[in-house]
Structure 1
């Protein structure tokens, strides 16, 4: 049976930390969808389509089990509609862990399990927010 993981995020911008998560999970699942999300609570610097194009440029061509798509709905809905087994989320620190555990509980209630992937120590400080600020 094929396994499908979905890695959602605003990815504004997509960082080396995000890329590392994709690299690690692509080895665990038959298919990984990087889901460039539209979040009404955030105002990204580019539209979802443009961000998806940017992510595609960073994903190595030989990672043939990784696809990138933009999505404006609930991640759990995408997972159900596309037969995805799990949502993948990266965790850098305790703050991330607390937020991701709350989100994981909501997604579990919607019928989709979440896999939390801890950041590698050398990537803990990588942040889209910091990159946007130019730091």
Structure 2
């Protein structure tokens, strides 16, 4: 079901999503309502060692999305998010922030992306979802 968007256009929501959390799903839902179409960009990150390859994580995310979210695509990607945006005519990157530390990091990243021609929109985590991180979910899964 395509939602009526507030801003229109398309946005990208990049991350490793290892694993996908309720907070990620909330950001995806809010972004699709703002922009009308969101591509969840499942990234490779050399600083992290995800349990699954990007294509497998992308498939798992597709499976987790509600069936009526036809305004959301999921794509594995290696490389800069800004490169994906330039190659696919996407002008907005959506990032979720859970803490002040996240804001500092994302602010610096947003400046770099802006210099490459792509605007970043930061969406704060809902308070009840802010403590949930992929790292915590992984650790709880092992325990």
Residue ranges of structure 2 left out of the alignment (5+ in a row):
1-7
Unaligned runs of 5+ in 1: none
Q: Which residue of 1 aligns with 2:5?
A: none
Cross-structure match for 2:62: 56
Aligned to 1:82: 88
- Root mean square deviation, CA, Å: 1.3
Give the superposition deviation at 1:30: 2.4
CA distance in 1, matches of 2:36, 2:21: 23
Cα distance, 1:133 vs structure 2: 1.2
Q: Which portions of structure 1, spanning 4 or more consecutive aligned residues, are displaced by more than 3 angstroms?
A: none
* Separation (CA, whole Å) in 2 of partners of 1:123 and 1:18: 9
**For 1:7, what is the secondary structure of its paired residue?**
strand
| Alpha-carbon shift at residue 42 of structure 1 (Å) | 1.1
User: What secondary structure does 1:55 align onto?
Assistant: helix
Alignment of 1:17-56 (within 5 A): 17-56=23-62
TM-score (norm 2): 0.91
SS at match of 1:27: helix
Q: TM-score, normalised by structure 1?
A: 0.96
Q: Does 1:123 align with 2:123?
A: no
The answer to whether the 8 A contact 2:91-2:117 is kept is: no
2:105 match: 99
Deviation by residue 1:56-112 (Cα, 9 ceiling, x = unmatched): 111111011100000001100000111112000000010111111111111111110
Moved more, 21-30 or 7-16: 21-30
Q: Could you say which residue in structure 2 is the equivalent of 1:10?
A: 16
CA distance in 2, matches of 1:110, 1:8: 16
